[in-house]
Amino acid sequence: MTSSRSPKSFLLLLAVLAAAVSASASDAKTAPAAAAYPLKVCVVSGEELEGGDMGGPIDYFFKEKGKPDRLVRFCCKHCIKDFEKDPAKYLKKLDQAQAKPL
């Protein structure tokens, strides 16, 4: 008996599996950083990250040459564009929040 699966079906299955593996790796990186994240609001807009009108937070890893990647959480995709215009301004807010004692 021959299989009725086409090469396209096989490629689609491989793409889905690759996306799942990538998402798992991303979750493994994001979970610890998100647990230690010092803000409950978007660093750009000040909107709530959880339970706000925009849905759940958008997790973004800021990459800067010679430094470790940094998690920055946003309320929406639009805030990422504002962040990218002046990352230092928003990273300063994040640093100040991390420096505050609990």
CA-based torsion, 22, 26, 29, 32: positive or negative: negative
Cα 62 to chain centroid, rounded? 9
At 53-75, the pLDDT tens digits run 767 899 999 999 999 999 999 99
Structural domain boundaries in the chain:
7-31, 37-99
Question: Is 3 a residue whose pLDDT tops 80?
Answer: no
What is the pLDDT, as a whole number, of residue 101?
Answer: 66
pLDDT tens for each residue of 19-64 = 444 443 446 667 777 778 999 999 999 999 987 776 789 999 999 9
Report d(CA 40, CA 44) in Å as an integer. Answer: 12
